[in-house]
Chains A and B, each alone.
Chain A
Amino acid sequence: MSRKIFDRELESLISQMTDMGNTVDQRIEETIAALRTMDLEKAAEVANSDNEIDQTEHAIEKLCMNLIALQQPIATDLRVIAACLKILTDIEREADQCADICEILTVGELNTNSLAITHVVQMLEAARDMFRRAMDVFLSRDVEAAREVCESDDIVDAMFSKIILEVCGIITESPQNVMREVDLLFIIKYVERMGDHATNIAEWVIYMETGVHPDLNTKED
């Protein structure tokens, strides 16, 4: 006895999720490049491309709902589909954060010479690394590796705290530029959230495998 049609659809679901993850990873890479070089044109492209990700999200959501309605999944099958629905939101939110960051960049008022910008780029690279590893464990379903992804959030959080202090120092020294630095604070908050979304993805992978959803993201707001 086998479930050929269902198995094929499940494979398609995983494949579509992975493709979406790759597209979002591309967005993060472009966001890093735009931030590093202050490429306002590239930033505008990323900021305006979010609609495509949203449409992919809706298509995958529909596939999940159809699988639940028509195939009545249980046990691991149900956990995989439920986890995909949750992970889908986190992948989409990663893309949202990229669009938000790039929208701030397009205004063109950031201090491009600030050392803080360099640190923000490093923080974004760390968040990207978390996201890539989260999508890797989504495929491998390696619970131990998933836990390691969640632990990496501490690194992103520590960078967040450090940059806040840096920005506060800059504001104290040059209070006339406070609005520009506030934009930077928004950006690092978005990046910090990207780390949280990657943690969420890894947590749902643990749920897929074990049936228990851990909360390894206690600092989430």
Chain B
Amino acid sequence: MESKISIQNLNLYYGDFQALKNVNMEIPCNKVTAFIGPSGCGKSTCLKTLNRMNDMIENCKITGKVTIDGEDIYDPRTDVTLLRRRAGMVFQKPNPFPMTLYDNIAYGPRVHGIKNKQKLDEIVEQSLRSAALWEEVKDRLRKSALGLSGGQQQRLCIARALAVEPDIILMDEPTSALDPVSTLKIEDLMDDLRAKYTVIIVTHNMQQAARIADETAFFLLGEIVEFTDTLTMFNNPKDERTERYITGRFG
């Protein structure tokens, strides 16, 4: 299986606290990979290392190596803006910009220098189609994004991430604030996205990981306890700690 992201001997510290301990992973290309584990286990921290979101946190120190397509993303010569374009992020709470739907999607491409209106129109339509939102919003592109429902706002955020043509989409609990119908729409969308993108999702909902992920990693106390195909993880996990966590007996 072709690896998109390679994490080698990754350690991450917030001051004196070690949040990630010797993490090693090969994240496959064009698959959905889920990170699961209890609160504070390091799964979101690990996700954020993949587009260097932790750079913004004071006292955060990282050792080890993370490569995307073989390129070391922590190399001092790495352009972090370009990295975040390649690895877009969707957060727990939908965070549309307080502007029109159109401008939300066009924002990223404009930042990256695209000014041609026809080109922007194409990007907006294509991104909204890819995020399964076009049919619902095509007649209200010039209205405020804040008028959308929570589920629509989250798909708008996904469309916004897609607009800058990433390879990787990082999702940090993208459906935890959504109702079941919106959640299933996002899950269907993730299933579609894997054809073109490498998707990594942090989720507290283990049934969600079971439904949508090809591979699942179980984090505990900053370490990866088990990283395997999702069927094995939920049918016959190898580690007793994984078994106890996923069956709800972790204490």
Contacts and interface: CB of A to CB of B under 8 A. Distances in A.
Interface of A: 1-3, 6, 72-79, 210-211
9 contacts: A1-B250, A2-B251, A3-B248, A73-B247, A74-B235, A74-B246, A74-B247, A79-B236, A210-B236
Contacts of A2: 248-249, 251
Contacts of A73: 247
Contacts of A211: 235-236
Contacts of A75: 234-237, 243, 246-247
B237 A1 contact: no
Interface string B137-150: 00000000000000
B235 A79 contact: yes
A79 to B, nearest CB: 7
Nearest to A6: B248
A219 B235 CA distance: 29
Contact of A1 (B210, B234, B236, B249): B249
B235 A1 contact: no
A76 B243 contact: yes
B251 A1 contact: yes
A128 B249 CA distance: 37
Instruction: In the A-B complex, list the 9 residue pairs whose CB atoms are closest, starting with the nearest.
Output: A211-B236, A74-B234, A3-B248, A1-B251, A77-B247, A75-B243, A1-B250, A75-B247, A75-B246
Contact of A78 (B206, B235, B249): B235
Contacts of A72: 207
B125 to A, nearest CB: 39
A74 B206 contact: yes
B247 A3 contact: yes
